[in-house]
């Protein structure tokens, strides 16, 4: 509905300022077209056109009532919000308006900003754009059981993806619902923003998490990250999402106490949404393409934010080439968490030696450069390096040196253990690096108390298996 050219005012009866200016509106008579958001019999003595649908209010972008606008050729060319005698007189060209009234009075919020109205309009505008098949449940069906029965669940209950919830989820991004985000293995299916939104709803995400989920899916479905192989492997690994930049705080992620554990909605549901997309869109399910011998609990969900504010070092995403302040996800093929205790080291050399000794055991102490690892340094351990002035590069350099392992210790059969490196790599006197170049990540997270850090082992590294992938989160 388009308002006519000329002077137009929008009011609502429940606004005291509108009540105050009612005599002025009556006095202006035919010189002004009047719309009421709640009661067309208001103001008494002249009434108003009914805009309880708010179509005119939205068309005129009304934020406040009363608002008076001048419309020319269908466009608003001047606007006054609330009651302000001088400006009302200038806009209407009528002097001496509301002589008994105060000079100025602020207005009230327009009904177009009522949360229920905004929500209803969002749903009405988005649902027609959705293309997913509708699954209609009978009245006697329990929706949670029905979702289990269709195989949509990872084993935990799901939030039912109603049209309204999916529409709200889609509002978490400016990307169109039909935009293709990635081709998801193993079935190599084009996955749209809408399909991601459906799975994000089921995972329990809030709409503001969606950009992070989308970035995680883009990163996971690259040739380098190789989610297909990661899914199919008999090894423990699944995708871990590490979040950097302002988005982590904006959506309330946990990078502190219990950062790798339960209890934070964003951490819990972003990782779960990624896994549900792989399951439902890609068709990757345990016992089918997922052949894990044991798996690990992180395959339900594994996502945390880096504690950048408390870190002595540059954030992981910056180290990996993105500008400071960029929101980003880094995907790592994580096998599980192994704790490192060192409550006695007070100098960085000693603590680095502890880290190296524990890192050597990733996958197997006699296996080298096949497995990547992520070292999550906690605040109390990080303090030791901060106070000694060690940069992250310095720590890595130290670890690289400490993890040059004598081949005699690694060769098959050494130590009475058949497992190990083949003889042709183990000439006497040589040393082999535990990790390939770039295969050891270091991040900072955790609660303020506890001289513990975490090693998260990886999977077959690099081109042979999975490359670590960092992607910017597009929040606008």
Partner 1 sequence: MRLLDPTSERQPATRERAKRIDVIAGHQVALLDISKPRGSVFLDRVEELLRERGAVVTRFAKPTFTKPAPVDLRHEITAKCDVVIEALAD
Residues that bind partner 1 (CB under 8 A): 130, 132-137, 141, 143, 146-147, 152, 160-163, 166, 184, 187, 189, 191, 194-195, 198-199, 202, 226, 228-230, 232-234, 276, 280-283, 460, 463-466
Look at strands 452-460 and 371-377 and give their pairing: antiparallel
Contact status, residue 423 vs residue 366, Cβ threshold 8 Å = no
In the bound state with partner 1, the residue whose beta carbon lies nearer, of 309 and 463, is 463
In the bound state with partner 1, the residue whose beta carbon lies nearer, of 279 and 434, is 279
Shortest CB 359 distance to partner 1, Å: 23
In the bound state with partner 1, the residue whose beta carbon lies nearer, of 210 and 276, is 276
Shortest CB 336 distance to partner 1, Å: 19
Q: Residue 475 carries which DSSP code?
A: -
Shortest CB 227 distance to partner 1, Å: 11
Of 84, 72, 77, 71, which is closest to residue 35 (Cα–Cα)? 71
Contact status, residue 370 vs residue 425, Cβ threshold 8 Å = no
Shortest CB 180 distance to partner 1, Å: 12
In the bound state with partner 1, the residue whose beta carbon lies nearer, of 37 and 461, is 461
Angle at 298 (CA atoms; ends 295, 304), nearest 5 degrees = 160
In the bound state with partner 1, the residue whose beta carbon lies nearer, of 78 and 141, is 141
Contact status, residue 447 vs residue 307, Cβ threshold 8 Å = no
The secondary structure of 366-425 as a DSSP string is: T--SSEEEEEEE-HHHHHHHHHHT--HHHHHHHHHHHTEEEHHHHBTTGGG-S-SB-GGG
Shortest CB 316 distance to partner 1, Å: 24
Please tell me the distance from the alpha carbon of residue 388 to that of residue 400, in angstroms, as a whole number: 19
5 burial level (CB within 10 Å; 0-12, 13-18, 19+): middle
Residue 476 structure tokens: 């606008």
Angle at 181 (CA atoms; ends 185, 164), nearest 5 degrees = 110
Shortest CB 224 distance to partner 1, Å: 10
In the bound state with partner 1, the residue whose beta carbon lies nearer, of 11 and 200, is 200
In the bound state with partner 1, the residue whose beta carbon lies nearer, of 76 and 132, is 132
Shortest CB 198 distance to partner 1, Å: 4
């Amino acid at each position: 509905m388009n308002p006519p050219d000329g002077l137009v005012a929008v009011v609502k009866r429940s606004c005291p300022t509108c009540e105050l200016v009612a005599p002025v509106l009556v006095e202006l008579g035919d010189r002004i077209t009047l719309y009421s958001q709640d009661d067309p019999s208001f103001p008494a003595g002249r009434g108003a056109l009914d805009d309880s649908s708010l179509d005119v209010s939205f068309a005129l972008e009304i934020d406040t009532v009363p608002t008076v606008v001048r419309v020319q050729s269908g466009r608003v060319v001047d606007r006054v919000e609330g009651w302000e005698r001088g400006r009302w007189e200038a806009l209407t060209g009528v002097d001496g308006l509301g002589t008994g009234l105060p000079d100025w009075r602020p207005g009230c919020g327009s009904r177009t900003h009522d949360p229920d109205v905004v929500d209803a309009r969002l749903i009405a505008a988005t649902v027609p754009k959705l293309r997913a098949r509708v699954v209609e449940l009978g009245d006697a069906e329990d929706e949670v059981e029905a979702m289990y029965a269709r195989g949509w669940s990872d084993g935990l209950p799901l939030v039912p993806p109603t049209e309204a919830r999916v529409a709200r989820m889609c509002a978490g991004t400016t990307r169109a619902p039909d935009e293709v985000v990635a081709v998801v293995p193993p079935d190599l299916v084009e996955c749209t923003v809408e399909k991601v939104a459906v799975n994000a709803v089921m995972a329990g995400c809030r709409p503001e998490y969606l950009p992070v989920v989308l970035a995680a899916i883009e990163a996971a479905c690259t040739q380098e990250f190789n989610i297909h192989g990661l899914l199919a492997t008999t090894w423990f690994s699944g995708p871990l999402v590490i979040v950097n930049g302002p988005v982590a705080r904006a959506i309330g992620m946990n990078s502190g106490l219990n950062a790798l554990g339960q209890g934070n909605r964003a951490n819990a549901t972003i990782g779960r949404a990624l896994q549900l997309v792989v399951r439902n869109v890609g068709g990757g399910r345990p016992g089918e393409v997922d052949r894990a011998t044991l798996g690990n609990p992180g395959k339900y969900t594994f996502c945390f934010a880096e504690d950048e504010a408390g870190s002595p070092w540059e954030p992981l995403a910056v180290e990996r080439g993105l500008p400071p302040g960029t929101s980003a996800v880094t995907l790592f093929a994580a096998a599980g968490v192994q704790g490192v205790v060192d409550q006695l080291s007070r100098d960085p050399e000693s603590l680095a030696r502890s880290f190296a000794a524990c890192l050597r055991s990733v996958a197997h102490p006699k296996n080298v450069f096949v497995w990547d690892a992520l070292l999550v340094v906690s605040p109390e351990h990080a303090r030791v390096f901060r106070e000694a002035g060690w940069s992250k590069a310095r720590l890595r350099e130290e670890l690289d040196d400490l993890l040059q392992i004598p081949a005699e210790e690694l060769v098959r059969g050494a130590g009475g253990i058949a497992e190990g490196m083949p003889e042709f790599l183990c000439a006497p006197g040589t040393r082999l690096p535990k990790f390939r170049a770039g295969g050891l990540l270091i991040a900072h997270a955790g609660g303020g108390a506890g001289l513990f850090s975490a090693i998260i082992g990886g999977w077959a590294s690099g081109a042979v298996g999975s490359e670590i992938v960092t992607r910017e989160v597009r929040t606008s």
